[in-house]
A and B are shown apart, each in its own frame.
Chain A
């Protein structure tokens, strides 16, 4: 997307070409490239807003930009990343403060932390640094943690200018050298000793959460420090490009990293709430139907036979019965999980929801959802307790459909909507597409949701079109956004 040049400011001391505004223009362009819908008005607002905050106050500056540019909470992370890249070198906390080092650490070990340049003789040994880290975590000393992070990156990351390695590599190296793995347990051990008595489970849990959040803070500090150095090395634009990540609603189910999965899981909850509200609102409002002749005449009696107040028949909301048949083999499991989650979250719009999962065998999991109040947990239990492997645990749609038809075929009726979730990659087994034809004949509607991009359909062992001819619709559902759109359009 091409980006308009930053428009001339509204007054502001003739600052049309001021470096700040140019920087801001680049910043906003980068936001747009990350997928944030920033309009021209908002651009202008941002420029107006930064005139009112002191520029040396980084936090205030950040919030001024956020308030004018980010109008959706899910976009906050993307904003924060871009902000870090564009405005990181300008923070006062770039260099660790000399006072940040704790008083109870032997000053002889420390000297002036800023005194030594990179590579110069470092007065701290690895053990010292580890001890400092330990003490900082134990007391939750933010400033000292930041100082440790700064030092650790300098020492362990091994960053060289111009080296074409991603930030995650440096992060990994630094964290590994700090030995975070057993740190949690060691810290807990110390706390237990300090308490001088066994901790109750509750206390133990609270301490654990506290320490975890501190370690998390350390990780963020290290990350920020690495990013700062990378920006200094490579320049803002290149760095922004490498850090650009899709927004949660645009993350593809099939290629999500662990971290993205986490963000997806967080995003699904508000999404379902929103969808449910929207669906029920539509139910209530799209209700005007045809004229109800009998009631109009009855009403007209009170006007002396003049049909002054027409009455209408209200449409009865259709409450379909839903049958979800989901492939939960490795590659598409995440997609199935999210879809099941969503369907159950809006299940009060359906008269009945039954769900089936398969790989090469098929099992009904409806009762898992009905006995558990918590959808997340039910979805989790699907993975552990459903009996879905028949021979070798590779998807076999033909066989799974066969089992479905044989066992549950008679419960498919004219009110049933069947949703089939899967990539239609059948490992060259028999397709069993006649079952789809029969289903299509018996059921009200049959939809197929495929998490693969449409261009991949029918490549390799995918036999999508063989199935989709027997569906009322086959949809590409790669992201939460697609899923949301499908549900809203269909129900």
Chain B
């Protein structure tokens, strides 16, 4: 089997070229996913680019992205495949044949409606499969995924087993609202995408927000880091950082002071109590935090 990437560095450069700044860990895991032919389970706080990673990898490889958005109550007919019941009915009604012919006939490929998972397996062109927010499905439904994740195949009782023509790259994302089962985790490589460190965040702002001055990007990254250190209900995510940076650029602001911060902070923080706390912390002189070096 040929591999998609030559080295970890190649992955990172490739992701760079589609404007996704990967750190060592992210690039390394994507590379391993390709080499070991294993799916990647991506966890981390909301808005740190978990879904975007899958999209960017697809873009980098020139592959089609097949996305399965999980939700509570999703089942096989939505995730794997479904028989096209209406078409089967028509088939039975239109031709008067013996029962034997019909019963063999109506469970043919023609009557199969493929859903994302089966589609990814049967695709002949390169694909990236994204199973989004996998923590939303119930524990029992997780079992649906196991066969495809470990063996890249789907068993359909009437047709037999459909095996993958080529092994797709698979990404599962989870917001960690519940513990995923051991069985699922065991089959995956695990990647935790945390908030980026200050340098990477600055780079992200510089890449994603055109026309931003370097000094402003630096200020934005520093302020966001300080804000994240507060105990907030919802610390600002990367996408919110970007929103904020864009706002500042649109307003033609070159330098963030307390006043500007107070006026625009609502793009960064979404809870009133968080906003109040941040403003309080950053406008008083004596804002000494308890976490001073011991």
Contacts and interface: CB of A to CB of B under 8 A. Distances in A.
Contacts of A37: 182
B88 interface: no
Contacts of A73: 43-44, 176, 192
A274 B178 contact: yes
B28 A374 contact: no
A6 B103 CA distance: 52
B261 interface: yes
Contacts of A274: 176-179
B36 A49 contact: yes
Contacts of B188: 71
Nearest to A215: B293
B176 to A, nearest CB: 6
Contacts of A48: 36
A210 B257 CA distance: 17
B290 to A, nearest CB: 10
Contacts, number: 120
Interface in A53-82: 53, 57, 59-60, 63-64, 66-68, 70-73, 76
A12 B191 CA distance: 26
A281 B41 CA distance: 23
A67 B273 contact: no
Residue in A39, A45, A181, A202 with the greatest tally of chain B CB atoms within 10 Å: A202
B287 A205 contact: yes
A64 B32 contact: yes
B284 interface: yes
A414 B192 CA distance: 46
A181 B293 CA distance: 7
B280 to A, nearest CB: 11
A372 to B, nearest CB: 8
Interface string A447-465: 0000000000000000000
Per DSSP, chain A at the interface is helix
B226 A209 contact: yes
B292 A184 contact: yes
Given A71-B185, A184-B293, A281-B72, A376 B178 contact: no
Contacts of A70: 190
B202 interface: no
B32 A52 contact: yes
A219 interface: yes
B186 A60 contact: no
Contacts of A205: 226, 281-282, 287
A67 B8 contact: no
A219 B292 CA distance: 13
Contact of B190 (A66, A181, A215, A216): A66
B95 interface: no
* Residue with the greatest number of chain A CB neighbours at <10 A, chosen from B24, B28, B29: B28
A476 interface: no
B28 A64 contact: yes
A114 interface: no
B35 A63 contact: no
Contact of B35 (A42, A52, A200, A201): A52
Contact of B229 (A53, A209, A278): A209
B123 interface: no
Contacts of B32: 49, 52-53, 64, 67-68
Contacts of A277: 177-178
B226 A201 contact: no
Contacts of B101: none
Given A73-B43, A274-B177, A219 B293 contact: yes
B293 to A, nearest CB: 5
Contact of B225 (A59, A68, A76, A209): A209
Interface residues of B, number: 54
Interface string A22-48: 000000000000000101011001001
A204 B283 CA distance: 10
Given A206-B223, A274-B176, A374 B233 contact: yes
B100 interface: no
Nearest to A373: B273
A270 B257 contact: no
Given A180-B293, A206-B223, A206-B226, A270 B176 contact: yes
Contacts of B233: 374
Contact of A60 (B24, B223, B277, B285): B24
Given A68-B189, A202-B282, A205-B287, A53 B226 contact: no
Contacts of A201: 258, 282-285, 287
Contacts of A95: none
A39 B186 contact: yes
7 contacts: A52-B32, A59-B24, A63-B28, A68-B32, A76-B192, A201-B283, A202-B256
- Give me the 8 closest cross-chain CB pairs, A-B, nearest first: A373-B273, A63-B28, A71-B185, A277-B177, A67-B189, A52-B35, A202-B258, A209-B226
Interface of B: 8, 24-25, 28-29, 31-32, 35-36, 38, 40-41, 43-44, 72, 138, 176-179, 182, 185-186, 188-192, 198, 219, 222-223, 225-226, 229, 231, 233, 256-258, 261, 271-273, 277, 281-285, 287, 291-293
Given A64-B28, A66-B25, 16 more contacts: A37-B182, A45-B38, A49-B36, A52-B32, A52-B36, A53-B28, A57-B8, A59-B24, A68-B189, A72-B185, A72-B190, A200-B257, A201-B284, A202-B257, A205-B281, A274-B179
